[in-house]
Amino acid sequence: MYLSNRITGLTGNDGDGWGLFLRAREMIAAGEDVIELTIGEHDISTSHIILGEMDRSARGGHTGYAMVPGVTALRDAVAARVEARTGVTTTRDNVLITPGGQAGLFATHAAVCDPGDRALYIDPYYATYPGTIRGASAFPVSVEARAQDGFQPHAEAIAAAAPDAKSLLINSPNNPTGVVYSHETLEGIAGVIKAQDMWLISDEVYDTQVWEGEHLSPRALPGMKERTLVVGSMSKSHAMTGSRVGWVVGPEEAIGHMIDLATHTTYGVAGFIQDAALFALEQGAPLEEEVSAPFRRRRQQARTAIAAQNVVRLVPAQGAMYLMLDIRATGMSGEDFGYALLEAEKIAVMPGESFGKAAAGHIRVAMTVNDDAFGQAFARLLAFAAEKAQTREGAA
């Protein structure tokens, strides 16, 4: 039977790049002791106080259909949070509650792209970006952010790809690189967006994980409020990955049409999940800082270890729960290094090539195991890299 091109072509010709992750899971299923530094899953569970509120709401009867745009109180809370952080006037009419950030990414592209439209995204990229764009029947076009530029995208490169494009998807703090886009970078991007009359889709799910500098939402830049759609989520900020609750913030007209889309697709988010998310947001910065603190500590562990050697280079780790490591001194690709590390040391990381061509020769390390395990695994990773680099020098 025939299956649509939209479904069969989601991952493109190059696959989804997650073979090493699947190999690690196979080894774990076979009983091998593998340290997983792969996906962005916290090593802590959702806070018991959030789960308590979820339980209270569910047992209290909020288990039926919830309002498709989102519970009014949660939309108000998201609007207030966004306005406080950005200074941009935001009301509930600017907010759609979604089943996680991923649903928000799909909804935004479905809202601004017609079938076949060119939709830009920055390489390196989170693995689902091209497939999400294809799922919305648009055509994904990557714009390279170069390693030698610290993975800050250049406005000139975006402008070169922008003619006839409908949208640009960016992500800061960035997964996979850990880079926080500078004010200069974002102003350059905003200039292209306005000049080309495009939409900007800004994935800001890591906005509570900033270790250096500050996060700037491009929606706050002059002339950008009416052409920016911001995707947010409770997954990273509150360790609520499995709860699947996030949002899109944007112009009222666009949000109104995305509410229609939600009515015909997801039909909203469970009410007791939304009540728990509202409760979590009401706890304010202290809870967010508690969730992010382990990654701040592990980043410092890694920086200290990196400084004591000269083989592996650390891409500026300014935000998010990941480290991007340059392992080109070993003479290996990120994929070859990752598979060799997995087989020799039982440590699983993600090859840079999983996130696009721009990150070739790099690996992404998720700081998602406890401090002791992370420190030991990171030391072993560096020692493995040093051995490979020494072998390369000997062969030369």
**Coil, strand, or helix at residue 17?**
coil
Distances in Å between the alpha carbon of 58 and those of 53, 54, 97? 9, 6, 18
30 and 131 co-located in one domain = no
Q: What is the DSSP string of 191-226?
A: HHHHHHT-EEEEE-TTTT-BSSS----GGGSTT-GG
Which structural domain range is residue 374 located in?
5-45+288-388
312 and 266 co-located in one domain = no
First to last CA, the chain: 55
What is the spatial distance between Cα 21 and Cα 76, in angstroms, rounded to a whole number? Answer: 39
275 and 127 co-located in one domain = yes
80 and 208 co-located in one domain = yes
Is this model's pTM higher than 0.85 or not? Answer: yes
378 and 251 co-located in one domain = no
Q: Which of 312, 394, 346, 268 is nearest to 35 (CA)?
A: 346
238 and 295 co-located in one domain = no
258 and 302 co-located in one domain = no
* Block residue for tokens 């030698």: 148
* Block residue for tokens 């909804």: 107
Close Cβ partners of 279 (under 8 Å, ≥ 6 residues apart)? 49, 50, 53
Task: State which of 245, 263, 285 marks the end of a domain.
Answer: 285
Contact 299, 317 (CB under 8 A): yes
Amino acid at 306: I
pLDDT score recorded for residue 17: 65
What is the spatial distance between Cα 3 and Cα 36, in angstroms, rounded to a whole number? Answer: 35
Task: State which of 285, 315, 344 marks the end of a domain.
Answer: 285
171 and 266 co-located in one domain = yes
Q: What is the DSSP string of 150-186?
A: TTPPPHHHHHHH-TTEEEEEEESS-TTT-PPPPHHHH
**Backbone CA torsion sign across 343, 344, 346, 350:** negative
pLDDT score recorded for residue 16: 59
Close Cβ partners of 372 (under 8 Å, ≥ 6 residues apart)? none
Q: Taking the mean position of all CA atoms in its chain, how far away is CA 178?
A: 10
370-379: long-range contacts, CB 8 A cutoff, minimum separation 24: 370/43, 370/294, 371/294, 371/297, 371/298, 371/301, 373/35, 374/37, 374/298, 374/301, 375/298, 375/301, 375/305, 377/35, 377/37, 377/345, 377/347, 378/301, 378/302, 378/305, 379/305
113 and 261 co-located in one domain = yes
Task: State which of 285, 314, 346 marks the end of a domain.
Answer: 285
Contact 269, 66 (CB under 8 A): yes
380 and 241 co-located in one domain = no
For 228, phi then psi, to 5°, come to -125, 135
**Backbone CA torsion sign across 237, 294, 377, 384:** positive
122: domain CATH number is: 3.40.640.10
pLDDT per residue, tens digit, the chain (396 aa), is: 999 988 999 887 655 568 899 999 999 999 999 999 999 999 999 999 999 999 999 999 999 999 999 999 999 999 999 999 999 999 999 999 999 999 999 999 999 999 999 999 999 999 999 999 999 999 999 999 999 999 999 999 999 999 999 999 999 999 999 999 999 999 999 999 999 999 999 999 999 999 999 999 999 999 999 999 999 999 999 999 999 999 999 999 999 999 999 999 999 999 999 999 999 999 999 999 999 999 999 999 999 999 999 999 999 999 999 999 999 999 999 999 999 999 999 999 999 999 999 999 999 999 999 999 999 999 999 999 999 999 887 776
Number of domains in the chain: 2
